[in-house]
Structure 1
């Protein structure tokens, strides 16, 4: 690939020394790690050839071959890193719930969705992964400041807290097949993302 296609390049999946996924990085950041010899090992089926400048002394053009999944030297996450709770925001919430309204079961565009608190904030509910679901605007307005039981609107699915691997999947819309295979191996058994086809 040529650097002119930079805007179309997928993100590189960064791992710690033990193979735990921890973030997405740009190809430029990956090149920085390669150039400083900070890539411990790499896996993945995709390789990217990045061309640099021309050496004034030799006339040769520099190039780096980067993999789609790389482990960074010196990085080691805690054993419970994959279980840490990722930040809650609407984009990842809607992706977690596959853009399905928890009350009517219909799929909507993100612009037509809202974050619904199962236990309303007005009744002491908190803004956490386990207390929020995706709802269409009509269902959220109909439910109002009530619990699903009070509104007689049963939940069609249960909320859950995504782990770090799920969060990385939710955050990136252009995941390569080898990256998805790698991250899928780190998903909890109950993950809704295992059902994505």
Structure 2
């Protein structure tokens, strides 16, 4: 059975309210729920429909934050009362998941890479759309480099072509930041453009203590 389309209640959400009326179920403006296990370990982003299933099954252990979304269901044939579920921005499910198995190293994809590097070419320092950026191997594959987070940066097509199969030192093209492997929490922040205030505050508590990937200089 299809679940009804939610109506958003942006309580303390810190985002722009969408136009009045119903939203499509996959509308990007619909916030996602931050999923935890019962012990508070961060798992992943969860679609609102999956969150509703946890509430209906009584599988929610505890929640954080004020309700951010109200989902209206069907009506009782006898009373005419409409069912309603209020979703919280952070939901912990009952049971205990294997913590390590749910915190994998983020997959190295171009969208994730470009997000890590803030849509900047790390050679010229200019900002580009994801359609213009490319993945550059700092230590070229042709010279034994590997396709890993620590060896790739975002690069515009012009800088990538100019650098070619050389290292930054060989091409006299210094990097503006040191490439790094994002933590799982950093990955979650980078992968969601619609993070609610309560979610961001919670995630920031689990970030690495020392900031990484800072741009040293913009030429």
Fold conserved between structures, TM > 0.5: yes
Q: Which SS does the other structure have where 2:88 is aligned?
A: strand
Asked if 1:138 is matched to 2:177, the reply is no
Match of 2:93 in 1: 72
- Which deviates more, 30-39 or 12-21? 12-21
Structure with a larger share of its residues in strand: 1
Number of the residue aligned with 2:208: 188
Which residue of 74, 77, 80 maps to 1:56? 77
Of residues 53, 63, 69, the one that matches 1:42 is: 63
CA distance in 2, matches of 1:41, 1:182: 15
Structure 2 counterparts to residues 1-197 of structure 1, below 5 A? 2=7, 4-5=22-23, 6=25, 7=27, 8-78=29-99, 82=103, 84-192=104-212
Q: As a proportion of its length, which structure holds more helix? A: 1
**CA RMSD after TM alignment:** 2.1
Moved more, 100-109 or 186-195: 186-195
Any gaps of 5 or more consecutive residues in structure 2?
A: 1-5, 9-21
Q: 1:85-110, CA deviations, whole angstroms, 9 ceiling, x for partnerless residues?
A: 11000111111011111111111121
Q: Name stretches of at least 5 consecutive residues in structure 1 with no aligned partner.
A: none
Does structure 1 conserve the Cα–Cα contact (< 8 Å) formed by 2:75 and 2:83? yes
Q: 1:180 to 1:29 in 2, by over 3 A?
A: same
Q: TM-score, normalised by structure 2?
A: 0.82
Secondary structure of the corresponding residue to residue 111 of structure 1: coil
Q: Distance in 2 between matches of 1:30 and 1:9?
A: 13
Q: Relative to 1, partners in 2 of residues 1:96 and 1:62: Cα closer, same or farther, differing over 3 Å?
A: same
What's the CA shift string for 1:26-48, capped at 9, x where partnerless? 11110000000011000023432
SS of corresponding position for 2:134? strand
Give runs of ≥4 in structure 1 deviating > 2 Å.
1-8, 75-82, 189-195
SS of residue matched to 1:167: helix
Change in CA separation of 1:153 and 1:193 when aligned onto 2, cut-off 3 Å:
closer
How many residue pairs match? The answer is 194
Q: What TM-score, normalized to structure 1?
A: 0.90
Q: Cα deviation per residue 1:146-184 (whole Å; 9 max; x = unaligned)? A: 111111111110011111111111111111111111111
